[in-house]
Amino acid sequence: IGPKTGNLLVARIFPEEDRTADIDIMLISKQGQVIKTNFQSIPVLANRQTFGVKVFRVADDDEVIGLAS
């Protein structure tokens, strides 16, 4: 988290058994943009040197305000 990667907006830890479950997640932005995706479509990162996965791109003047699963 810093100038290169930006701020962390939303984070949630899911148990390993959820990786095989058919779970959808929804991300909501302040300006009303919504994305719904299946949890299994998000790659697992095993290397601790990684910066995470970007699931949802928002405009510079917008931000993610909610996560639902």
d(CA 12, CA 67): 9
CB 42 within 8 A of CB 55: yes
Q: pLDDT per residue over 39-60, tens digit each?
A: 888 877 666 666 667 777 888 8
In this model, does residue 33 exceed pLDDT 90?
A: yes
Percent of the chain residues topping a pLDDT of 90: 16
Average pLDDT, the chain: 79
Element (H, E) at 55: none
pLDDT top residue among 30 and 3: 30
Write down the pLDDT at residue 48.
64
d(CA 51, CA 5): 8
